[in-house]
Amino acid sequence: MNRIIALFMLFWGSHALAGSYSIIEDVTCKPESDVCETKVKILEDDAEVAEISGLEGPIFHSASNSQVLSCESNAIFGTTEIKVFSYTGKEVFSYPHLGYQRDCGVLVEASLYWFLYNTIENGKPRNSLVVLDSIGDVVFKSGNSVLTVFEFTYDSRLYTLTASTPDWPG
């Protein structure tokens, strides 16, 4: 079953990629299954400039970075890393999963990507948070923690991310 998930119009001001961009996500799932594949089409002024296939998702768009983030959820398949692509469809970087990925997203205010993992330490569930910049460098990595509020500084500004209570993977 094919369905269009979202259509986002992105407008660029003084960015290197001039023009009007739209992103189309097409998710194809096997009938009566959680097995799905996401295909992303990137359009500039309604003309297709790139297509990225075989993604697991969820998918996020970073207009400020001109990038597409695929969290590559490892809940169903054994995906091993997140992937970030430019709007030309080229992979910019990947980063290995640290455990069971609970959540992910884009911190829009800082053009950063964040990933929340659940891990097990001494027989107890723990949170592990990692924040990456637009080239894949680690901005913050919490290690295994029972914390649900994480604070870090980036470009001389304090950021706070709130996570769910640590839970068992799965």
**Tens-place pLDDT, residues 35-58:** 788 999 999 888 999 999 999 889
pTM of the model: 0.83
Asked if the model's pLDDT at residue 160 lies above 90, the reply is yes
User: How far apart, in whole angstroms, are the C-alpha atoms of residue 56 and residue 37?
Assistant: 6
Q: How buried is 30 (Cβ within 10 angstroms: 0-12 exposed, 13-18 middle, 19+ buried)?
A: exposed
**The pLDDT of residue 73:** 87
What is the mean pLDDT of the segment spanning 8-16? Answer: 28
Asked if the model's pLDDT at residue 4 lies above 60, the reply is no
Strands of the chain (E only): list them.
Answer: 2-11, 20-29, 36-44, 47-55, 59-62, 67-70, 81-86, 91-96, 100-107, 112-121, 124-132, 138-141, 149-154, 157-162
Asked if the model's pLDDT at residue 148 lies above 50, the reply is yes
Asked if the model's pLDDT at residue 157 lies above 90, the reply is yes
**Tens-place pLDDT, residues 17-40:** 445 778 899 999 888 887 788 999
What DSSP state is assigned to residue 55? E
**Tens-place pLDDT, residues 61-116:** 898 899 999 999 887 677 899 999 999 999 999 999 999 999 999 998 989 999 99
